[in-house]
């Protein structure tokens, strides 16, 4: 073969080999894309959108238990880590559903994080989603369980607190009957019976008040209220109790403050603060009630000269039925509900209550409320645009 013919044949062979190689590469790429589309199949229509708006726990896993979609709630609870379910019990539920095809429902205690000692109570439901996926849904029951525990504690505390005065009334009634021929004894037992009846009535009234406040019923109507009037009424309600122990109630501070709210509720709160201060003050001392105006708030502070509150008890004093010294509270007629009522009144009015205390020097309770904005004043003859 002549050299002139050999060169074109070599070029043609090279072209054919190159074209074949290109075809092989293209076919391989197509097969790879097809395999990837099978492995990375999308979640069934609509599931993506549902999980995106789901506040509770929602997770979709594929055949290899890889998480391909998770709601924000699942991520917040730490149930998903590195595209895998982090809770072994939920993984077992998924495997069981995949084997049996039957939906599984269980209640689990799940750690809130890898370093947290706290747990969340979940009701977990696992079911098939199509032929390849498994759907994990969970409802967080933590708050519901906590509220139920609070309710049980509240009922138990009420039962305990009411049992004492009710039992005392029963005993004193029997004592009066037994001493009916002794006028002096009858008179003494009758006075004690009256005190226990008053205490029973106070507990009942404060339980009703606290229930109303927690239900939000106390703020059905908000009206403009003068803080000076609230303080004056609350002082008047405590004047007799203070004078009986030689305690002076001293009021001072900024005048003219106004807030929006429920007048009886606010009077009750300030009255409880003053009453609490009287109970914990020594005889012949004084209790100060001060009003301070801030740029956007009104502060009502009540200061006593009592023994003070230990640091570890300062936040607990606002709990229902909590009493740092139960014996003293019983002697003074305290129910353990007064400061809890103050806290809920303040919260219902968009405010707060704080305590400062130093052992041996007394305590100051400060209720902070949003200040009412003054209405614009228009001079006589002034025209508005």
3-state SS, one letter per residue, for 200-254:
HHHHHHHHHHHHHHHCCHHHCCCEEEEHHHHHHHHHHHHHHHHHCCCCEEEEEEC
User: pLDDT by residue for the chain (385 residues), tens digit each?
Assistant: 555 555 555 555 555 555 555 554 445 445 444 333 333 445 666 666 677 666 678 899 999 999 998 888 887 777 888 889 988 999 999 999 999 999 999 999 887 655 455 678 899 999 999 888 999 999 888 777 766 766 666 666 566 556 666 777 778 888 888 888 888 888 888 888 887 777 677 667 666 666 666 555 445 556 889 999 999 999 998 998 899 899 999 999 888 889 988 888 899 899 889 998 998 899 999 999 999 998 888 999 999 999 888 887 777 777 765 655 544 444 444 556 778 888 888 888 888 899 999 888 899 999 999 887 644 443 444 444 3
- Cα angle 55-60-61, degrees, rounded to a multiple of 5: 150
Q: How far apart are CA 345 and CA 267, in angstroms?
A: 10
> 64: which residues sit within 8 A by CB, 6+ positions away?
none
Greatest Cα pair distance in the chain:
152
Token readout for 227 is 């803080």
For residue 102, what pLDDT is reported? Answer: 93
Q: How do the domains of the chain map onto residue ranges?
A: 47-140, 142-215, 219-373
**What are the strands, taking DSSP E only, across 56-118?**
57-61, 67-70, 80-81, 84-85, 104-111
In CATH terms, 47-140 corresponds, of 3.40.640.10, 3.40.50.150, 3.40.50.300, 3.30.450.20, to 3.30.450.20
What pLDDT is stored for residue 117 in this prediction? 59
* C-alpha to C-alpha distance for 138 and 84, rounded to whole angstroms: 16
Check residue 159 and give left, alpha or beta (phi > 0: left; psi -120 to 50: alpha). Answer: alpha
Q: In the block, which residue shows the tokens 């019983």?
A: 330
Q: Return the DSSP state at 373.
A: P
Structure tokens at 49: 């959108």
- Predicted confidence at residue 181, as pLDDT, reads 83
Query: Which token pair is 21?
Result: 């190689």
| pTM of the shown model | 0.51
**Which of 167, 140, 141 minimizes the C-alpha distance to 54?**
140
Distance CA 204, CA 318 (A): 18
Report the alpha-carbon angle 363-364-368, nearest 5: 155
Q: How much is the pLDDT for 32? A: 44
Give residue 92's pLDDT: 94
Which residue has tokens 């309770």?
365
Shortest CA distance to 125 belongs to which of 104, 148, 102, 96? 104
Please check whether the domain covering 142-215 is classified as CATH 1.20.120.790: no
Spatial neighbors of 200 by CB under 8 A, at least 6 apart, are 162, 165, 166, 169
CATH number belonging to domain 219-373: 3.30.565.10
What sign does the CA torsion over 156, 157, 160, 165 have? negative
**Which region, left, alpha or beta, applies to residue 381 given φ > 0 means left and ψ of -120 to 50 means alpha?**
left
Q: Which two tokens stand for residue 100?
A: 């049996």
Q: What is the pLDDT of residue 164?
A: 63
């Amino acid at each position: 073969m002549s050299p002139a013919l050999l060169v074109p044949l070599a070029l043609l062979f090279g072209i054919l080999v190159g074209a074949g190689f290109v075809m092989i590469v293209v076919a391989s790429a197509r097969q790879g894309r097809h395999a990837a589309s099978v492995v990375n199949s999308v979640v069934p229509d609509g599931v993506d959108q549902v999980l995106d708006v789901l506040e509770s726990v929602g997770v979709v896993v594929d055949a290899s238990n890889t998480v391909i979609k998770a709601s924000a709630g699942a991520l917040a609870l730490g149930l998903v880590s590195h595209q895998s379910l982090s809770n072994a019990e939920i993984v077992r539920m998924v495997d069981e559903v995949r084997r049996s095809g039957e939906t599984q429902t269980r209640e689990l205690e799940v750690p809130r994080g890898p370093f947290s000692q706290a747990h969340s109570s979940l009701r977990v439901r696992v079911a098939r989603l199509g032929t390849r996926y498994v759907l994990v849904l969970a409802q967080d029951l933590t708050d519901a369980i906590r509220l139920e525990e609070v309710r049980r504690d509240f009922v138990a505390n009420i039962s305990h607190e009411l049992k004492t005065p009710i039992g005392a009334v029963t005993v004193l009634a029997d004592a009066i009957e037994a001493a009916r021929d002794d006028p002096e004894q009858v008179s003494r037992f009758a006075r004690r019976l009256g005190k226990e009846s008053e205490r029973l009535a106070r507990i009942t009234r404060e339980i009703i008040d606290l229930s109303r406040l927690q239900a939000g019923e106390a703020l059905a109507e908000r009206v403009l209220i003068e803080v000076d009037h609230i303080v004056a009424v609350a002082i008047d309600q405590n004047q007799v109790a203070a004078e009986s122990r030689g305690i002076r109630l001293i009021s001072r501070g900024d005048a003219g403050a106004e807030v929006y709210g429920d007048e009886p509720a606010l009077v009750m709160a300030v009255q409880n603060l003053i009453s609490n201060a009287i109970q914990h003050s020594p005889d012949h001392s004084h209790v100060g009630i001060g009003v301070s105006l801030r740029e956007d708030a009104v502060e009502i502070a009540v200061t006593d000269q009592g023994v003070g509150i230990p640091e570890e008890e300062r936040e607990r004093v606002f709990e229902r039925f909590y009493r740092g010294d139960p014996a003293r509270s019983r002697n003074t007629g305290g129910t353990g509900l007064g400061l809890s009522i103050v806290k809920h009144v303040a919260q219902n009015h968009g405010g707060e209550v704080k305590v400062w205390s130093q052992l041996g020097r007394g305590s100051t309770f400060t209720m902070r409320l949003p200040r009412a904005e003054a209405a614009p004043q228009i001079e006589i003859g002034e025209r508005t645009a």
